[in-house]
Chain A
Amino acid sequence: MAPPQLVANYERLKAEVVNPRADQKTIGQLLTQLKIALTEARLLIPGSNSSLEDLVLTRDVLELGAFWSVRNKDIPAFDRYFSQLQTFYVDYPTQLPPSPREYPLIGLNLIRLLTQNRIGDFHTTLETLPPNVLGENPFIQHPVHLERWLMEGSYNKVWQEREAAPSEEYKFFVDSLMKTIRREIASCEEKAYDSLPLSDAMSLLFFTKQSELMIFAQERGWNVNPSTQIIHFARKTEEKIEIPKQKIIVNSLAYAKELEQIV
């Protein structure tokens, strides 16, 4: 059984999280204390003889911790919480009552993978979800749509969808997502246009102020003509085709060697 001190701390944590004026630092300290207590009670990594209530308690603590770390933009901590939670979601699906926070957390994790451009992991996670959840759950639908539009290039839709996040926490990832999108769009523009008026570039990149655009243009090394207000993209000059001597020699020698072995 979980020690009373642990349960008391857990109740305090629950109260603090709901409290809108709560101090984030206090929650952080509470979480640390709880994690130490859980480890001592051998609950952090569930064994076979833990009671159901204790497991649910542990899961709740970890879930709250995961949300807290997202709110404080501590992504590595979120990663740790989430991998600890995996055990509860994957190995105890029938024993434990389903958690209402499971899919929001999975959705958050999906967005995180998306912003870090880990598309392979993103899809691996998607495969583990049952098809009806994939098609209906709003928390999962959001990242799935985002990914599809990113792959297609419908950046416009991504921009609009950003406001329609299903829960508060999702917005914490929006900033980094926007950075990813801008980078993508910018690289497309460099290839697809010869030149682009400043005002159009601003709307394409979803900037509201010209100064922001100028900073961005500088970062990418674009050539802005101040009098005509037009951005010129440096075309890559036709690269000279060189004969790959080294490679041809290596290949021919290999053929000769193999042929000699055969004959």
Chain B
Amino acid sequence: MDVDTKPKPVVSVPTPDAEKPVVKAEPIAPNVEIKQNLVLIDRAVTTLEPRFTHRVLRTLTHLRKKLNDEVLSKAVEETYTKDSPAKAALFQYLSAPAAMDIDLPNGDAKPQPVVVSDPLPEGDTYIRLLILLHLSASKETTEKAMALAHETVERIQALNRRTMDAIAGKIYFYLARLYEVTDRLAEIRPLLLAAHRTATLRRDADSQATLINLLLRNYLHYNLYSQADKLVSKSTFPDSAGNPQWARYQYYLGRIHAVQLSYTQAHTELLQAIRRAPTAKTAPGFWQTVHKFFIVVELLMGDIPDRALFRQPVLRKPLEPYLQIVRAVRIGDLSHFQSALQTYTAQFQHDKSYTLILRLRHNVIKTGIRSISLAYSRISLRDICTKLSLDSEEDAEYIVGKAIRDGVVEGILDHQKGVMVCGRKGDVYSTAEPGEVFGRRIGFCLELHNESVKAMRFPLNAHRKDLASSEAAREREKSIAKGIAEGEIDDDDEMDF
């Protein structure tokens, strides 16, 4: 590859955050990288191995920062033949004049290799994706970006190539993102639904996963939870989808189920989303948002989140309002809860967790009653009333009655004397509970093991060698067996002696 022979210096792009990642300190010029990527995509198409395409797409995030008109025009210039119509079409989207002889920063005099043919459709789409990324970065070019995205989507659907799926997913994603930025999400819904149908029919798992997530995001943006729920129940999320898409899907599911009061389910899904998400540093936004909902759902289930969660550097500041709520719930203080709720109303509404937090009110009361029942063996309803700042004794009686029925506290009410007599909770270890929990955990570990075994990759044809050696081994075994058989006779003979 001539790519590797190129002089590598060109420290032309000293990105501001370049001092942090010390590990891979070998900045490559963006154009070189694009070229490398195109080679990789070619290889992916010829070997039908989507792994290479995925590797290319992983570089998008950091390549994105280096893109500009100059780099892109050069890339287009280098990839397409001199007068290919595709080239002219792409240059429309780039604002830099198509100056052919831009002075290259590394100023190498080596003549450009003459391009003989247009790239494969996959490569073409990749170049388009890069241009799209660049165009969507600034506000002025949003219109252009949308036009390009629409054109590309049409091309993708017309071409119908399975090797393109991964790139197609990305294109869909940025198309929807553009609509979201311009606040026109409702308009794109029909297009996404149609694309999802097509992707499902073509068994295009990558686009399918992306599109389902985009649709869910679209619905949840407008708080259309029932529609989102219907979409989830009517569609199947492809198992082979990548981790990032799974994380998003689980997060949306968690939100839907939290609204529908299936907290246990929501809890599992949000936990899965957190586990599948990239680390806090690479995707802090997602990490924070998921944790916000996770905390609220955990509170709704009656658990108190771990204090350490709020100390993580990425989470500390955005979770501050939630910390206040958690504190109020933990000590069962209604007035503290109300004041925290009022202070941060705007923040909660922005996070779309406001209505969920409103539901916490009775959890605060329940915790309050529980802590009282642990501390007192007998307490009058009036005292409960003042402790929990409830409105009246009648209310307190009903509330305590409900708490007893729901199994929050053990105890008995005495109506004539107006007191609650608290009982003792039985020993958990005398029930089947520990056994069940143990079973669940073992099940989880076993599943993890099986999943990891399934996820292992083996090099192609490597087993042939093993086969050959096993063949030899079998031969050897046979001869040994023979020997033993003969030996046995010997043994027997000896025994006779």
Interface residues of A (CB under 8 A from B): 90, 119-121, 123-124, 126-128, 131, 134, 148, 151-157, 184-185, 187-194, 196-197, 200, 204, 241, 244, 247-248, 251, 255, 258, 261-262
- Say yes or no: B415 contacts A153, CB within 8 Å: no
Closest A residue to B256 using CB positions? A124
- From A128, A148, A197, A200, contact of B362 by CB (8 A): A148
- From B226, B229, B262, B400, contact of A192 by CB (8 A): B400
Supply 15 A–B pairs (Cβ within 8 Å), ascending by A: A90-B224, A121-B260, A124-B229, A148-B362, A152-B362, A154-B391, A154-B399, A156-B392, A191-B405, A197-B416, A241-B431, A247-B432, A251-B439, A255-B442, A261-B450
Instruction: Enumerate chain B residues within 8 angstroms of A248, measured Cβ to Cβ.
Output: 435
Instruction: Enumerate chain B residues within 8 angstroms of A251, measured Cβ to Cβ.
Output: 439
Closest A residue to B262 using CB positions? A120
Instruction: Enumerate chain A residues within 8 angstroms of B391, measured Cβ to Cβ.
Output: 154, 157
CA distance A240 to B315 in the complex (A): 48
- Say yes or no: B394 contacts A156, CB within 8 Å: yes
Q: Give the most central of B392, B413, B416: most A CB within 10 Å.
A: B413
Given contact pairs A120-B260, A126-B355, A131-B354, A188 touches B402 in the complex (Cβ within 8 A): yes
Given contact pairs A123-B260, A127-B223, A244-B432, A155 touches B415 in the complex (Cβ within 8 A): no
Instruction: Enumerate chain B residues within 8 angstroms of A244, measured Cβ to Cβ.
Output: 432, 435
Interface residues of B (CB under 8 A from A): 222-226, 229, 259-262, 349, 354-355, 358-359, 361-362, 365, 390-392, 394-395, 397-405, 411-416, 430-432, 435, 439, 442, 446, 449-450
CA distance A184 to B405 in the complex (A): 10
- Say yes or no: B399 contacts A153, CB within 8 Å: yes
Instruction: Enumerate chain A residues within 8 angstroms of B259, measured Cβ to Cβ.
Output: 120, 123-124, 127
CB of A256 to closest CB in B, whole Å: 11
CA distance A258 to B359 in the complex (A): 42
- Say yes or no: B224 contacts A148, CB within 8 Å: no
CB of B289 to closest CB in A, whole Å: 17
Given contact pairs A156-B392, A188-B402, A192-B405, A123 touches B355 in the complex (Cβ within 8 A): yes
Across chains A and B, the number of contacting residue pairs, with CB separation under 8 Å, is 108
CA distance A190 to B412 in the complex (A): 10
- From A126, A188, A194, A255, contact of B412 by CB (8 A): A194
- From B392, B402, B413, contact of A193 by CB (8 A): B413
- From A153, A200, A247, contact of B403 by CB (8 A): A153
CB of B434 to closest CB in A, whole Å: 12
- From B362, B392, B401, contact of A188 by CB (8 A): B401
Closest A residue to B364 using CB positions? A152
CA distance A192 to B402 in the complex (A): 8
Which 10 pairs between the two chains have the least Cβ-Cβ distance? A153-B402, A188-B401, A192-B401, A120-B260, A153-B399, A191-B405, A192-B404, A152-B362, A188-B405, A156-B394
CB of B430 to closest CB in A, whole Å: 7
CA distance A189 to B442 in the complex (A): 40
- Say yes or no: B260 contacts A197, CB within 8 Å: no
Given contact pairs A148-B362, A153-B403, A241-B431, A192 touches B392 in the complex (Cβ within 8 A): no
Q: Give the most central of A128, A153, A248, A262: most B CB within 10 Å.
A: A153
Instruction: Enumerate chain A residues within 8 angstroms of B361, measured Cβ to Cβ.
Output: 148, 152
Given contact pairs A188-B402, A191-B404, A124 touches B225 in the complex (Cβ within 8 A): yes
Instruction: Enumerate chain B residues within 8 angstroms of A127, measured Cβ to Cβ.
Output: 223, 225, 259, 355
- Say yes or no: A156 contacts B395, CB within 8 Å: yes
CB of B310 to closest CB in A, whole Å: 26
CA distance A248 to B436 in the complex (A): 9
- Say yes or no: A185 contacts B260, CB within 8 Å: no
Closest B residue to A128 using CB positions? B223
Closest A residue to B186 using CB positions? A91
- Say yes or no: A128 contacts B398, CB within 8 Å: no
Closest B residue to A134 using CB positions? B355
Instruction: Enumerate chain A residues within 8 angstroms of B226, measured Cβ to Cβ.
Output: 121, 124
CA distance A200 to B162 in the complex (A): 74
Instruction: Enumerate chain B residues within 8 angstroms of A153, measured Cβ to Cβ.
Output: 362, 398-403
Closest B residue to A90 using CB positions? B224
- Say yes or no: B261 contacts A155, CB within 8 Å: no
CA distance A200 to B226 in the complex (A): 44
Instruction: Enumerate chain B residues within 8 angstroms of A184, measured Cβ to Cβ.
Output: 402
Instruction: Enumerate chain B residues within 8 angstroms of A131, measured Cβ to Cβ.
Output: 349, 354
